[in-house]
Structure 1
Amino acid sequence: MSKVKVKKSKENKIKISKIKSIENGSMKSKRSNKILSIFLMFIIITMILYGSTRIFSLRHVEGEAEWKESNSQPYLYVSAENSYDLGYLTGKNLYKQIFSLKNLLLLMSPQFDTSYSDLKKLALEYVPFIPREHIDEMNGIAEGATNSLGITINFNDILIQNTWFDILYGKIIPEKTEEIEIDPLGCTAISVMNNGSFPVFGQNFDFTLIFKSCTSFVLHKLGNNPAIFGIKFGAALNFPIGKNENGVSVLTTIIKTNVISSMMIPTSCRTRLAFEQSQNASSYVELFYEIIGNNQSIGFTSIIIDNTNMFAVDVAPNNTNILSPISIVRTNTFVNESWQKFLVDPNYSKDRQNEAEIQLKVKLEDSNFSYNDLIDILQSAPLIFRKTDNKKDIATLALFTCINYAIENLENKEWGCIPI
């Protein structure tokens, strides 16, 4: 009996070991399948997340975009029949500048006692004032930039880049003048109508050197509208420094005022509208300032020029002054004595204004004001032309004149020719 029992016990053990072996194999197989499933799920999720940033490339976009050069100075040419396509092609090619400006605003917003999320909240308040076609273009810019970067740039990012100048100079600076140190923006604009005929004009654009990474010149053509060439910061539709195909040119200097501006159409959008619809300098002035209406704008001065006319427009809170001078200098201050009360710092830019006026007066006494005379003044260091290697300091970032543009080699005069 005992032998039989032992035999049965061995058989049972063999059976049990086989069962356990099968179970262990099954468990290992299940575990392997589970690990494989998790791995595959991770791959799928990763592909979905990454693919979501690329999905827009499947959209059919028509138009043309190409980086070009004039005398080694780069500019982007972009053309499309509708606003979305124009935006998409712009974003796809300016993604580096757009990404750079986003990061700069993220990093620098605490300097102004704010945050990127606060900028977004303020930017969204401008949406009701923005034309539908500009919203379409901004959506296109976001999707084009996203496609090139492989990471998401959304509409709000592009909206911020089209409103941050208005927010900074119309909201933050007037509210925070006694609490934070404001980094100065410095520009010098000069224009002369020689014997009342052909104009000679140009300006420097000075800002913190680190912003050079988000600066570009762009020539764009939208449908039947006149082509527009000008300076851009990140994804801004237009900044009021440039020229349209009809020969209307604009120079602008921004002024820090102590009055909060009204909520209204952003500067980038109203500049675009004025450039698109103006046939001459006079119509630009009418369009641009008709759009402003009775709203309190940020403080600035603009010089608007065509082949035969020149207007200088100073804009302070609730005040607009339009002149038709033969020659003029404008920097980042008001020359009107009664407007000094609107300035955050009444002394800021006065030395630069006086220096440019003195130099212009001397040049005008000798003979007709030449292009070389203009360049001599604009390259006068250190007050008018500013150089630095420190990215946190203010420097002359760009040049725009009646003939040339540049964001590289400003001192060497290796400048590009304006393509329109």
Structure 2
Amino acid sequence: MSNNNAVRKFSRMGRRRFLSTLAGLGVSVSALHGLSSDVVAELDLDPSREVVRQAGYVHTNHEAVKRGASPKRTPVYYKIPRYRWERIEAAHDARRQLEAELAERGVNCSAWVTTNESDEKMVKIEVIDEGSMSTRAFQRVESRIPTTVDGVAGRNTKAQSNAREIPVTVTKEKAAKPSPEPVDPVPLLNGPDPDDFYYWRDWFRVPAGAACMFVDSMNADDFENAGMGTLCTPVDDNGTKKMLTAGHNILKTTPNDDDDNTPIGLLEEPPENGFIDADFGTDRAEFSGSGYDVLDGASLNLINASNVEYEFATLGGGTKGDIFGSLSADRLKDIEDHGTGYYEMLRQQGARTGEGGGFGIEEVNDNSFRTDRDHDEVQTGDSGGPVHLLNDAPIRKIDGFVPAENVDMNMGTFSYIAGIHSWSDVNKNTNATAVHVIEDKFGVEV
């Protein structure tokens, strides 16, 4: 069937049949929302050889969002070859099978999909050592994990592929312990030294990537448990503006709190006159999961901050860029498999080390992703900062990416927020919680 014939066939279908047909062709459940025959036509889809993927969500009213309105969002679509879809989704199917099996057996582990040096998809199992696992105990666990697992793309759909044998590797890893403690030589009792951090300003409208200090008391004389971190991105919660950061910035700042380990507030500038004029207060925070595969996020309520800015903080106290939406699970998996596109670049911003970019995604699963950015390129104080996909061209000019609706945008470049930087341990690259997971969990939208 030619592409034109396929498009005509889709255009004659009712909505329910149209979605059912595309689901049967391998389109993910999350990608079906907003998909139409017009999008399929603009993609010039050949359903026998290609699969529709969702890049993420973008604002249709971006200029209004920057002035304080709630975002109206639409999905953005692209397509990949069917053979590539089969290879990616079969590996993730194998990963999920192993996750379910090991969870049932009570094995504390995290599982990732990655690509080896031979360009083969593989599953990486990290068995978590809480500090007392002997070599023999690990070997017993390892011996019960298969060296290969058969995975299929599109399981239980009409598009289900033939089984692929996915290799499995097993390692023992120490339990991840992200550090929210202050960075020496920050003089806590006098407030953090602005010279030790980037993006440390008294912002009128607080941008993504700004430096902040987390405290468990509004009294500036009690800073024993204060910690430095970075703000990730503004979000909207049913009309209320909030800010995201890492959950461990909040939950680990007050380890001796007998109630809920939640601080009263945070600030972005050193305290004056013996008290803290907090810009934000904690809305909710979560740090959960196994090993390095964690859901690590927090949302913050505006207290004294005037508003938020859908741009990134710059060194001179200004802002740049446009935060236009959030990245999807499909896109994260595809970037791990074959990298970013011609107009795209992954970037990360932290209050301790500034900006970095040009890295890739090394491993990915349902909650998190691990970049190939080296441990030495980040420091304590970067936690909570944005990992974003910068697009160096207007969305309508990027070949192959089609929004479901018209978008209101005047900027030449824009960013999807991909994740919230969690941490990095020695001999490990940087980890991030996928922001689409936080959006679903917290009921917020970038």
Indicate the TM-score class for this superposition, using the shorter chain for normalisation: under 0.3
Higher CA-based Rg:
1
Which has the larger share of helix? 1
TM-score normalised according to structure 1 size: 0.24
